[in-house]
Structure 1
Amino acid sequence: MIELVLGLPQALVEPVSDALSDELDALSVSVEDADAGTEAEQALFGEPGMPAPEPAWASSTVRALFETEAQAEAAAALLLAQDWTTGLRVLAMMPVVEQDWVRLTQSQFEPVSITEEFWVVPSWHEAPAAAKTVIRLDPGLAFGTGTHPTTLMCLRWLATNARSWPRMLDYGCGSGILAIGALLLGAHTADAVDIDAAAIQSTQDNAAANGVTVRAGDPAMASGCYPLVVANILAQPLKLLAPLLCGHVEAGGRLILAGILERQVDELRQAYAPWLTLEVLDSLDGWVLMGGQRASHDDR
């Protein structure tokens, strides 16, 4: 297989992607931020009360796979010849080495220790002897396998604050790992919401694989107030979602936030100050976990 790598402005991403997949025989097409890994990197998201997510980044990279080099060369030539593709650049054209992708993927995911007794274990691994609580979770389409510092800190907080929550909300659930972990650690019920249909399906599948029941759906499904609300997203959407998330925390309840860099702590404190006081609960590899408690009725 041959990978064709293109650089292009935002306005061309959709028509070029459509042309590659519909007319030029690309086997797959993916889009990524051309500034990924730099300070200019940006997240695309959509949340209630916010503008719809942009279709791509201002400067994007499109990767297309073709069966043959001739197909990739023809696709590049045809796109460059069009009047409407000004700004399109061919960055690379390279062979993709054939590999056993299943075996390769599995080799990259080992059991993750949250605490000595709490582990996240892929289905193809045996659980460690010391593991008393195990989340069975395989890498999939949705974010959250326990390896990223933000997810790990959320699970670590759940483990070290183990108690029975009558009800919890996992907002931006991804794989559903936090809702599943909370249930395994004693929560009675868990709701999990996400704007991505793949995340909702992944959460339902992972919950079933772990023998727990998670009510999963889009954000409109979240109803009423919860003793515990956990949101592992990114700092910018967390700031914009402050009124909504705090509105889901019952009097005396806890709010746990992740996806925050150390340099963003003060921004988050300010954003949530009208409702509660956030404090740093944990830190790992430049990321922090923040949390706060809503005042009880007696304190208002």
Structure 2
Amino acid sequence: MAWLQLHLATTEAHADAFQSALEDMGACAVTLTDGADQPVFEPPPGARPLWQNTVVSALFDADRDPALILAALQQQGLDAQAHHHETLDDQAWERAWMDDFAPMRFGERLWIVPSWSESPDPQAVNLKLDPGLAFGTGTHETTVLCLEWLDRTDLQGKAVLDFGCGSGVLAIAALLLGAGNATGTDIDSQALTASEDNARNNGVADGLSLYLPENLPADYRCDVLVANILAGPLVELADQLAGYCRAGASLALSGILAEQAESVRSAYAPWFDLNPTSQQGDWVRIDGVRRKTE
């Protein structure tokens, strides 16, 4: 069976109306994607942000006439800024999606392995993780930078804080790499749920504590802190994050674009001896050690 896929360029203000109309016309699926390379970062809980330029793509049975669909949309006052369509051959869509995610290696010891794949190295540290709702499957440069850092950091028996934990991938990796315990915080309760589920799937749930940031105990202190969020919040939270770190604690910060590195380094320099900035693509990691004396 073949399918008709129709792509419609519109704006953030009209995307929902297009989606609703296409679903009413019998679309089997409707997806919204970025039409102008404008990433949306960390929306507040419950928010559904869209891009200023949004492409609405709808999947119909192959015998539908795209011209009639466009005419019906126009009758409802919905004129796409641009449009095109294509015919898609039927395939095993679930398998095609799964094939996009293969086991990935980080550093010397650590692999992230989807549940449907065999580990390339059964003797390695294998973290089982499937793509999901919360950010952090290990595919983004910022996550890669943090995972590689964790892989080469001495974590044995140490207390690790994953600030902005998302799917919990960094906290879980730390536990699998030998950390004594890990704590994860995130502003989104869905992320905490995802982290708990992923920790359970990897057999480390007993070692992971999860909190909304405001509920993290005031006297909490860690030996290792990793924060993969954004440069703005990292700068604003520098004093708070430094306060969580014991003297001699290791720190890794990411979610930082290369041009933002100096502002983040300046914010943490009063407390930490920082190593040279590491970069992958457009993104960087800043890491260092909490000074023993002020």
| TM-score between the two structures when normalised by the length of structure 1 | 0.78
User: Which stretch of structure 1 is more off in the superposition, 206-215 or 109-118?
Assistant: 109-118
Q: What does residue 194 of structure 2 align with? A: 202
Q: Structure 1 residue 259 and structure 2 residue 259: aligned?
A: no
Residue 273 to residue 281, structure 1, CA distance change in 2 (3 Å):
closer
With 216-225 and 198-207 compared, the bigger mean Cα shift is at 216-225
1:161 aligned onto 2:153: yes
Q: Is the 8 Å Cα contact of residues 118 and 131 (structure 1) preserved in structure 2? A: no
CA drift of 1:139 comes to 2.6
Check if 1:289 corresponds to 2:277: no
Aligned: 1:55 with 2:49: yes
1:82 maps to which of 63, 76, 83: 76
Distance between the aligned counterparts of 2:233 and 2:10, measured in 1? 26
Q: Which deviates more, 131-140 or 237-246?
A: 237-246
Deviation at 1:60, TM superposition (A): 1.9
Displacement of 1:89 after TM fit? 2.2
User: CA–CA distance in 2 between the matches of 1:163 and 1:201?
Assistant: 24
- Runs of 5+ in structure 2 lacking a partner? none
Q: Residues 44, 126 of structure 1: CA spacing in aligned structure 2 closer, same or farther, 3 A cutoff?
A: closer
| Partner residue in 1 for 2:32 | 31
Q: Which amino acid aligns with 2:42?
A: F
CA contact (8 A) 2:35 2:53 kept: yes
Q: Is the 8 A contact 2:43 2:49 kept in 1?
A: no
Using the alignment, how far apart are the partners of 1:146 and 1:71 within structure 2? 41
What code does the residue aligned with 2:93 have?
W
Distance 2:30 2:271 in 1: 43
| Deviation at residue 286 of structure 1 after TM alignment | 4.0
Distance in 2 between residues matched to 1:146 and 1:106, nearest whole Å: 15
Percent of aligned pairs sharing the same letter: 38
| In structure 1, distance between residues paired with 2:68 and 2:233 | 41
Say how many residue pairs are matched: 288
Equivalent position of 2:59 in the other structure: 65
Q: Residues 1-300 of structure 1 correspond to what in structure 2 (within 5 A)?
A: 1-21=3-23, 23-36=24-37, 41-46=38-43, 55-68=49-62, 70=64, 73-83=67-77, 85=78, 88-129=80-121, 131-164=123-156, 166-196=158-188, 198-213=190-205, 214-216=208-210, 218-224=212-218, 225-227=220-222, 228-239=224-235, 241-242=237-238, 245-246=241-242, 248-250=244-246, 252-272=248-268, 276=272, 278-296=274-292, 299-300=293-294
User: What is the deviation of 1:24?
Assistant: 3.3
Preserved CA contact (<8 Å) 2:156 2:180:
yes
Q: Is the 8 A contact 1:14 1:55 kept in 2?
A: no
1:116–1:130: 8 Å Cα contact kept in structure 2? no
Q: Give structure 1 stretches of 5+ with no counterpart.
A: none
Offset of 1:71 from its aligned partner?
7.3
CA contact (8 A) 1:173 1:193 kept: yes
CA distance in 2, matches of 1:293, 1:47: 31
8 Å CA contact 2:4–2:64 kept in 1: the answer is no
Partners of 2:291 and 2:90 in 1: CA distance: 58
DSSP-derived class of the 1:70 partner: coil
Contact 2:44 2:188 in 1 (8 A): no
Distance, in Å, in 2 between the alignment partners of 1:226 and 1:207 is 21
**Residue 212 of structure 1, CA deviation:** 0.5
Measured in 2, the distance between the counterparts of 1:200 and 1:261 equals 26
- RMSD of aligned C-alpha atoms? 3.2
Q: Which amino acid aligns with 2:202?
A: N
Gap change, CA 1:295 and 1:116, over 3 Å in 2: closer
The 3 A distance-change label for structure 1 pair 19 and 210 is same
On the 8 A contact 1:117/1:130 being kept in 2, the answer is: no
Q: State the distance in 2 between where 1:56 and 1:172 align.
A: 22
Query: Given that residues 44 and 53 in structure 1 are in contact (C-alpha distance below 8 angstroms), is that contact kept between their aligned partners in structure 2?
Result: no
Q: CA deviation at 1:169?
A: 2.5
TM-score normalized by structure 2?
Answer: 0.80
Does the 8 A contact of 1:66 with 1:72 survive in 2?
Answer: no
